[in-house]
Structure 1
Amino acid sequence: MRFATDTGGTFTDLVVEKDGMLHLFKSPTVPSNPVAGVLGAFSVAADAFGVDRKTLLQMGNQFIHGTTHAINAIVTGRTARTALLVTEGHPDILLLREGGRERPFDHTVRYQRAYIPPALTFEVPGRLVASGAENKPLDVAAITAIADRLAELEVEAVAVSLLWSIVNNAHELEVERILRERLPDVPITLSHRLNPSLREYRRTISTAIDASLKPLMDRYVGGLENAMREAGFEGRVLVLTSQGSMVSADEIRRSPILALNSGPSMAPIAGSYVANADADEADTIVFDTGGTTFDVSLVRGGYVPFTHESWLGRPYQSDLTGFPSVDVKSVGAGGGSIAWVDDGGVLHVGPQSAGSTPGPVCYGAGGTEPTVTDASLALGYIDPDYFLGGSIRLDRDAAIAAIRQKVADPLGLTVEEAGLAMLEVWTENMVQAIADITVNQGIDPGTASIIGGGGAAGLNAVAIAQRMGCPTLLIPEVGAGLSAAGAVVSDVGRGFRRLFVTSTADYDAAGVRAKLAELQDEAEAFVAQMGVGAVQTEVSYFAEARYAHQVWEIDVALNLEDMDDAGEALREAFHEAHERIFAFRDTASTVEVIAWRAQVACKVAETTELRIAPDGAEGTALRHRQAYFSRLGLVEVPVHTFERLETDQQFSGPAIVESRFTCVVIQPGVTFQRSAVGTLVIRPELTPETAKELN
């Protein structure tokens, strides 16, 4: 038996894999103590299995945990008091960053402060040049004095990022030696060891983030492990990473930056799994709508893209992570998004969220601001007596009253019209996020399938698919816990990187072979340590390359067997990748490679299908209730039970497909059926008859 959890802003999802089937459970997240939310989800699961929590935990051999604890600590300013050591003459790396503004001429926007303030930034005398040669030796006495000053300041962590340490790491290693002598209990992160990137800011910011998270994540991961052991779990604890894989809890302690956005990175992993079974399109858009955020990602030809452009907040108004991760874009557009009308009479939805505390108005827990969940309840899309399988009873009258007071009356609309308007604005916010990650990367949504996950996804998944022109919409049976389900099918893995610059005009075949051999050795060492008992192991190699004089690189997948001494295979692979993303290739240009990367994946268990185990509860497969639709008004619609929907029959909307954890709103004229593996396959294009009626 295996367990996987994903701690979100509103609910903590738990997936239990037993006998090849998945069991999904949800429990409210406890923001002040996420571990308590995890244990709460296990208590819910134990009740469902008819055992006590300790017995259930003792049955498990693997616990996989995804968390937003690291990113939340950064957003809320709860990171450690961290010092930054840089080369003398370069104290403003984190202040100057890479330039750029979201709105270049809007000078009312405050310039972003440095992640580590100048008061905690110290200049280290000593200098290496680009070749790695020493231009000026380290001043050991000055470094010792800096270490003593850090002790006086009660610094909790230290980041060290010196110029050209990626070519020659001697100076960083010497600084580390002195710091460990003077500050033996203070964690240290070295830039060359964590992120050997050519770009000074990205290497430095990732080092600073990693160091600032070490004390916090050491306590969190240690507390999680201890809590699980005390509760009865005796198996292996793994933590999800932002690179779409999982590593040991000790690895997160050493490099906590790996845990940034660890939960959202699993949605495309699960999406790829689902698309392989039920989608004909080569590319797939994956979105995960939780209670607080809306996460969107891609699967391109079965490959989950990585990015080096992950921001901690708004682009240019925050810092980059500087660390490669699965390309996931997040916006504040979850099911708990609050609707509000500004002074000009314009309706907005989000980015503020009611979260889990106090939650939407209909929760009856003190919330006063109308949310998307309240609107969906008022429109009849959600059954107030069956939310989370009936574990939470919703107050429809309170939701209607809040919508009337805060949205409908100010806009001169009925409650139903206001509810629809809230959902339409909410949908537009999501559509823009999807366009940013698809059109901007050369993906035509009209030729891609789209997968909806998260508890709130079904409320407007069809509307999103229609708006984007996607021919196929898939709602997996386990979609309400898509990220947690992704953890079940993810691999133990880690990425490794080496800086080595060469070009096809003067290709250094021997140097390339040497760097790839280093990566291969590092990957094999990881497999030997972490891949014990794996049923399958795979190592993928990539080049970070660009045309000569371009500023940014793209990832190019490599087949080591095709690599030749002239670099022709690399050149052709880059042309294909560039054309796929930017719709053109320049065969006359030289291809430059800046870095080489290996991605290790160790499959630790075989999971055949992302299927939810039947709950065994009695109930009708088809019910009816009244729901409000645009142009139709209030009509009685069929309500299908998701897990009892016939797999060989096609249905059409208007309809609602409902499970214990989600409901899918099917617009009029849209056809749908359940696939052989349990996925709800929806064709968003209207039938000709319905299109004619609505027009």
Structure 2
Amino acid sequence: MRFATDTGGTFTDLVVEDDDGSITLHKAPTVPSDPVAGVVDALGRAADARGLTLAAMLARGTHFIHGTTHAINAIITGRTARTALIVTRGHRDILLFREGGRAEPFNHTIAYPEPFVPRALTFEADERMLADGTEMQALDEAALIATLDSIKAAGVEAIAVTLLWATLYPAHERRVGELIERHLPGVPYSLSHRVNPTLREFRRASSTAIDASLKPLMTRYLGGLSERLAAAGFAGAVMVLTSAGGMVEASEVAASPISVINSGPSMAPVAGHHYAAREGGWRTAIVADTGGTTYDISLVSDGRIPMTRDLWIGEPYLGHLAGYPSVDVKSVGAGGGSIAWVDPAGLLHVGPDSAGSTPGPACYGRGGTRATVTDASVALGYLDPDYFLGGAMTLDAAGARAVIAGDVGDRIGLDPDAAAWAVLDLATENMVQAIEDSTLTQGIDPAEAVLIGGGGAAGLNSVFIARRLGCRRLLIPETGAAMSAAGAMLSDVMREFSTSIHATTAAFDGARVDAAITSVREQAAAFGVRTGLLAEVELIAEARYFGQAWEIDVPIATPTLAEPADVAAFRRAFDATHEQLFTIRDEASAVELVGLRARVRCKARSGAPFRLAEANADANADAGTLRTRRAYFAGTGWVDTPVLRWDAIPADQEIAGPALIESPFTTVVVDPAARFRRSADGALLIEP
């Protein structure tokens, strides 16, 4: 038995996989002050559903897979450790200068962003390595020891070390680490050549500083999670999801916490990739995960999940750049808990602020007083107040209509029905704009893609989103209500090992490049051995045309780059990838290799069908009979709408809208203009 959880801003999702490969879904409210409490609550609900005690169920478990926003939330809220940064003398302002780029180039009223580590906690080391490996200045250890005394006096809780050219020649950084251990025992530290061996100085310094600042927090959090699970009866392996779309053991995350900044959102594309291949084999899938707080968008194209190193925490150019490999996910403040509000000019807005799980939307009856998307959906008749979360929670329909009327309708002159529709319609438009920003800028026509809707709130307006995008097909998987947790269960044990290296096709040093390839391959192979699983290693080159500022990722298909034929094959692959991305190729220019990565994947799950168990079927006593509920649709008004139980819909039978399709954890709204069917694998396939 395996468990996979995703802690969101409103709900904690849990997927349980039994030994026969069948799965069940469970949800519990997230506890912001103690996220582990929400996890334990979800596990308790799963145990109750099986007629077991929590200890008895956990005793059967072999793996607990955890996705968390604890790290990124700590950065956003400023709860990271007090961190010092040690740099080469003369480069104290590396985090202040940053990289070029402005969100609004001509708006000079925007304040210059503060560095992640303040200048007062940035210290200089007397040392200097040159690009060719020459030691221009030896490390002054006596001066460094005095600096460490100053760091101790400043009450620092973690230390980041970023020295020039340490990616290629790390001897000085290693010695600084040894001196930290000797003179500041117990203080966690991060060395840049281990965290992010990239040639870009700001990114390397930024990622190292972020990594160090998270070590005390994440060590406590993951240690507490493991201890509480053990106390509850779990004796298996605790795994944590990484930003790169895989998972590793919790002990490895504590040593490199920057790897889990985008932990939860990175899993929805993994699930989307699985369902796109299983349900239709679409070339391009738009994966949209609607939670209570955010709307997360990613693309799966040609069977590949896109990665990025431009992961910003906060607004691009104004926030902090992680500079660490991550699944490319764009998030906007639009979800079921997004708050609707009217500005002084009388314009309606939805989000980005969210009611979260505490107090939550007004319809939760927990003290929420602001109108949200969920309240609008209740007011429109889309959600059954007596069957929210499978009946585990009763919604206050009158309270929902009251806040919609008071917060929205009375302020913009609309009746409650029109006001509720306006809230949902504007939320839909925000989501459409976010998808178009992610697709059209990459030359992707949304009309040629399948939209995959995930998250508990996805069914409320995914049909409307797909129609506005021009998508001919909308896919909502049977596990869509817990998309990220499902992706966690489908994910592999995975890690990347990287190194910086410079070579050019004009004068290729095959021996030196092959030595670098051997190094990252050996690290990847050793990781695979530690997991005890069958490992596959993919080698990726970071390359660019000579003189370009930015590099692209190109898979290396040959075992080595030692022979001229191997280099020629790499060159052809680079030209083809560059042309696919930017529509041009420059065969007259040399290609520069600036970095190598070995990505190792270890299959953690058997090939058993990923299907919901009968135990997770809708338990509504009236599900076998046709019911109706009045629902409001723009242009039609209130309509007596059939209410269908998801798992009772016959497979491959086309049905015309309108319909409200319910499962214990989500409701899918199909308006009169749409048609749908349920596939043999349990997914809803909707033609908007």
- TM-score, normalised with respect to structure 1: 0.96
* Bigger mean CA offset, 203-212 vs 613-622: 613-622
**1:627 is paired with a residue of what secondary structure?**
strand
**1:672 is paired with a residue of what secondary structure?**
strand
Q: Is the 8 A contact 1:279 1:472 kept in 2?
A: no
Aligned pairs (5 A) from 1:173-212: 173-212=174-213
In structure 2, the partner of 1:644 is 648
Structural RMSD (CA): 1.3
Q: Is the 8 A contact 1:478 1:610 kept in 2?
A: no
Q: Is the 8 A contact 2:196 2:204 kept in 1?
A: yes
Shift in alpha-carbon separation, 1:65–1:476, aligned structure 2, 3 A: same
Q: Is the 8 A contact 2:439 2:445 kept in 1?
A: yes
* 1:681 maps onto 2:685 in alignment: yes
Shift of 1:537: 2.2
* 1:671 maps onto 2:666 in alignment: no
Shift of 1:316: 1.1
Shift of 1:298: 1.3
Amino acid aligned to 1:620: A
CA distance in 1: counterparts of 2:348 and 2:591, whole angstroms: 49
In structure 2, the partner of 1:692 is none
Q: Is the 8 A contact 1:614 1:643 kept in 2?
A: no
Per-residue CA deviations over 1:141-199 (Å, capped at 9, x if unaligned) read 11000111111112110000001101110111111111111101100100001110000
Per-residue CA deviations over 1:496-529 (Å, capped at 9, x if unaligned) read 1111122222223222222211111111100011
In structure 2, the partner of 1:599 is 599
CA distance in 2: counterparts of 1:562 and 1:446, whole angstroms: 41
* 1:148 maps onto 2:152 in alignment: no
CA distance in 2: counterparts of 1:75 and 1:382, whole angstroms: 33
Shift of 1:377: 0.6
Give aligned pairs, total.
Answer: 681
CA distance in 2: counterparts of 1:476 and 1:277, whole angstroms: 10
Per-residue CA deviations over 1:622-650 (Å, capped at 9, x if unaligned) read 32111010111111111111111111200
Aligned pairs (5 A) from 1:76-475: 76-475=77-476
In structure 1, the partner of 2:545 is 547
Per-residue CA deviations over 1:202-252 (Å, capped at 9, x if unaligned) read 000000000000000000000000000000001111111001000011101
Gaps of 5+ in 2: none
CA distance in 2: counterparts of 1:371 and 1:586, whole angstroms: 51
CA distance in 2: counterparts of 1:581 and 1:666, whole angstroms: 36
CA distance in 2: counterparts of 1:547 and 1:631, whole angstroms: 54
CA distance in 1: counterparts of 2:166 and 2:514, whole angstroms: 22
Amino acid aligned to 1:507: F
Per-residue CA deviations over 1:101-160 (Å, capped at 9, x if unaligned) read 211222232211010001110011111111121111111111000111111112110000
In structure 2, the partner of 1:7 is 7
In structure 1, the partner of 2:584 is 584
**1:560 is paired with a residue of what secondary structure?**
coil
* Bigger mean CA offset, 18-27 vs 613-622: 613-622
In structure 2, the partner of 1:632 is 636
Q: Is the 8 A contact 1:562 1:569 kept in 2?
A: no
Shift of 1:558: 2.0
* Bigger mean CA offset, 579-588 vs 114-123: 579-588
CA distance in 2: counterparts of 1:579 and 1:664, whole angstroms: 40
CA distance in 2: counterparts of 1:216 and 1:106, whole angstroms: 36
Shift of 1:668: 2.1
Q: Is the 8 A contact 1:389 1:661 kept in 2?
A: yes
In structure 1, the partner of 2:663 is 659
Q: Is the 8 A contact 2:15 2:26 kept in 1?
A: yes
CA distance in 2: counterparts of 1:45 and 1:177, whole angstroms: 47
**2:321 is paired with a residue of what secondary structure?**
coil
Shift of 1:322: 1.0
CA distance in 1: counterparts of 2:428 and 2:392, whole angstroms: 28
Amino acid aligned to 2:675: T
Q: Is the 8 A contact 1:542 1:596 kept in 2?
A: yes
CA distance in 2: counterparts of 1:129 and 1:492, whole angstroms: 37
Amino acid aligned to 1:431: V
CA distance in 2: counterparts of 1:140 and 1:24, whole angstroms: 56
CA distance in 2: counterparts of 1:161 and 1:171, whole angstroms: 10
Amino acid aligned to 1:593: L
Q: Is the 8 A contact 1:5 1:13 kept in 2?
A: yes
CA distance in 2: counterparts of 1:583 and 1:638, whole angstroms: 49
CA distance in 2: counterparts of 1:497 and 1:599, whole angstroms: 9
In structure 2, the partner of 1:574 is 574
**2:564 is paired with a residue of what secondary structure?**
coil
Q: Is the 8 A contact 1:281 1:447 kept in 2?
A: no
Per-residue CA deviations over 1:572-606 (Å, capped at 9, x if unaligned) read 21222222222333333332221111111101221
Amino acid aligned to 1:313: G
**1:281 is paired with a residue of what secondary structure?**
coil
In structure 2, the partner of 1:691 is none
In structure 2, the partner of 1:690 is none
In structure 2, the partner of 1:693 is none
CA distance in 1: counterparts of 2:345 and 2:607, whole angstroms: 53
Per-residue CA deviations over 1:638-664 (Å, capped at 9, x if unaligned) read 111111111120012122211111111
**2:609 is paired with a residue of what secondary structure?**
coil
Per-residue CA deviations over 1:297-330 (Å, capped at 9, x if unaligned) read 1111111111011100111110110111111111
CA distance in 1: counterparts of 2:172 and 2:347, whole angstroms: 57
Shift in alpha-carbon separation, 1:131–1:334, aligned structure 2, 3 A: same
CA distance in 1: counterparts of 2:465 and 2:136, whole angstroms: 58
CA distance in 2: counterparts of 1:559 and 1:664, whole angstroms: 43
**2:614 is paired with a residue of what secondary structure?**
coil
Amino acid aligned to 2:481: A
Shift of 1:437: 2.2
Q: Is the 8 A contact 1:623 1:639 kept in 2?
A: yes
Q: Identity of paired residues, percent?
A: 56
**1:665 is paired with a residue of what secondary structure?**
strand
CA distance in 2: counterparts of 1:439 and 1:606, whole angstroms: 37
Shift of 1:444: 2.1
Shift of 1:619: 3.4
**2:202 is paired with a residue of what secondary structure?**
helix
CA distance in 2: counterparts of 1:40 and 1:627, whole angstroms: 33
CA distance in 2: counterparts of 1:285 and 1:430, whole angstroms: 12
**1:335 is paired with a residue of what secondary structure?**
coil
CA distance in 2: counterparts of 1:267 and 1:610, whole angstroms: 15
Q: Is the 8 A contact 1:624 1:638 kept in 2?
A: yes
CA distance in 1: counterparts of 2:412 and 2:3, whole angstroms: 47
CA distance in 1: counterparts of 2:437 and 2:599, whole angstroms: 26
Per-residue CA deviations over 1:391-433 (Å, capped at 9, x if unaligned) read 1100111111101111111111111111111112111221222
**1:358 is paired with a residue of what secondary structure?**
coil
Amino acid aligned to 2:646: F
- TM-score, normalised with respect to structure 2: 0.97
Shift of 1:352: 0.1
**Counterpart selection for 1:556 from 545, 554, 562:** 554
CA distance in 1: counterparts of 2:413 and 2:330, whole angstroms: 35
CA distance in 2: counterparts of 1:471 and 1:596, whole angstroms: 40
Gaps of 5+ in 1: 685-695
